Homo-oligomer: A and B are copies of this chain.
Amino acid sequence: MARLLRAATWGLFPWRGYCSRGTQEELSKGFVEALKAVVGTPYVSTAAAVRAQHGQDESVHRCQPPDAVVWPQNVDQVSQVAALCYSQGVPIIPFGTGTGIEGGVCAVQGGVCINLTHMDRILELNAKDFSVVVEPGVTRKTLNAYLRDSGLWFPVDPGADASLCGMAATGASGTNAVRYGTMKDNVLNLEVVLPDGRLLHTAGRGRHFRKSAAGYNLTGLFVGSEGTLGLITATTLRLHPLPEATVAATCAFPSVQAAVDSTVNILQAAVPIARIEFLDDVMMDACNRHGKLNCSVAPTLFLEFHGSGQALAEQVQQAEEIALHNGASHFSWAKEAEARSQLWAARHNAWYAMLALRPGSKGYSTDVCVPISRLPEIVVQTKEDLKASGLTGAIVGHVGDGNFHCILLVDPDDAEELRRVKAFAEQLGRRALALHGTCTGEHGIGLGKRQLLQEEVGAVGIETMRQLKATLDPRGLMNPGKVL
């Protein structure tokens, strides 16, 4: 299984500039045969189209295909593939639904992409214990469809219908995080194939307790590690009881400050709000055009409340009073599921509404998170920066967490515009850092934010992370070039 040097230098797109790739080593025929011997011939591909499909996520990061893609059918095969790669020094890139947006699946050093979606069983539902065990091929929508009659649901919702194990790997969160937390708060246990093929159960095999003080928090270390420490082959998730009732609302505000002040007031009043999303005027305009809606072109909050009968009525009343007190001019409540879906469609289609503003352009989404008190100033500053930059961009965010996205439009053939978009995103990251925030609330570091991570956690923080990486992945084979 000796490997053949191909010694090809990949073309670099200087405007993207996140990834560098030197010489490309191709996998030997013997190695590919060995992969086939593990997973079966139909489940290994070296076809260019397949590799290209696996070398890019939904971001503008340049496609960097792996040398081969394999589809293991079970965890033993994942272990064997990992051990094989480890013994030969071949990089390993885990792949779920490919819906990330920080270039997490780009094979910057080539290697074997392990597509885990054929492992798609819901292994164990423990309804009384509010927990479920899923394999990597199970997405959040599949799980919630499965749970429909159980009275339970899994609330973490990053927008995309992502793989739940992928969501654990990237520490996903999304619109419900203000009430139900992020993946960090909802993963109880992980089955992980370590780079050398050994199997780790972060909280012990088969365990699904609610809390523990037993040893180091290995689960917490692997959640959000972006495939750089091991392959997640099963996740035990915490489920929540389905709310008895749900109501949603939108309200438009005279200013960004007024919208964010309302958010802070609602949280301070201990209203257990389930979602509180902010869309700026540009975003609302795009949503109107795209969805043929007639909403105010103004800073707007989208809110959702979960609860039962009286409690829900009280939440709604409190939030409405706070919003009106802060000058909300329009108020629109939706209680029935259909009305709620229509209302949220605008929010969920924000990405496509933006893209429709300038056909042919691509979207570039960056995210930061700041202490909530600093949210008005960073949003206002960012809107001024946007104006000054001449770029087309809008702001949409999970303001209850202090987390927001800036969606920028970019012509992928316009190197100068791409350079400006990248500079803008870096500036936004640094603004967040200056306000005691983080350069990413939920998208992750991937390829694009490694420099910002260094600035965020400092020299000792980075050194500590590097030590952890070197300890758990001593040959540097797990998703190389990401995070650090």
Contacts and interface: CB of A to CB of B under 8 A. Distances in A.
A182 to B, nearest CB: 5
A18 interface: no
Q: Contact size class for A?
A: 35 or more
Interface stretch (A139-147, A308-316, A335-343, A409-417): A308-316
Interface string A103-142: 0000000000000000000000010111100000000000
A453 interface: yes
Interface stretch (A20-28, A350-358, A457-465): A457-465
Given A213-B440, A215-B483, A220-B220, A472 B465 contact: no
Contact of A208 (B126, B311, B436, B441): B436
B460 A194 contact: yes
Which of A211, A223, A372 is packed against the most chain B CB atoms within 10 Å? A211
Contacts of A88: none
Given A198-B460, A221-B220, A371-B208, A214 B401 contact: no
Contacts of A130: 267, 372
A99 interface: no
Contact of A213 (B203, B207, B433, B441): B441
A264 B213 contact: no
Interface stretch (A169-177, A284-292, A384-392): A169-177
A7 interface: no
Nearest to A272: B272
Copies of this protein in the assembly total 2
Interface in A432-484: 433, 436-445, 449, 452-453, 456-458, 460-461, 464-465, 467-472, 483-484
Given A200-B460, A218-B465, A211 B441 contact: yes
Contacts of A332: none
A445 B214 contact: yes
Given A128-B264, A206-B436, A211 B457 contact: no
Which of A128, A307, A315, A441 is packed against the most chain B CB atoms within 10 Å? A128
B173 A211 contact: yes
Given A200-B460, A203-B457, A371-B208, A214 B471 contact: no
A223 B270 CA distance: 26
Interface string A196-211: 0011111111111111
A163 interface: no
A233 interface: no
Interface in A366-410: 369-373, 401-403
Interface string A212-255: 11111110110111000000000000001111100000000000
Nearest to A484: B215
A472 B444 CA distance: 24
Contacts of A467: 471-472
A453 B403 contact: no
A440 to B, nearest CB: 5
Given A207-B437, A213-B440, A436-B208, A372 B128 contact: yes
A453 B314 contact: no
A151 interface: yes
Interface in A263-289: 264, 267-270, 272
25 contacts: A128-B371, A129-B371, A130-B372, A177-B211, A194-B460, A200-B461, A204-B433, A204-B438, A209-B441, A210-B372, A211-B369, A212-B440, A213-B224, A213-B444, A214-B445, A214-B457, A215-B224, A215-B461, A216-B469, A221-B468, A309-B314, A310-B311, A310-B314, A464-B472, A471-B471
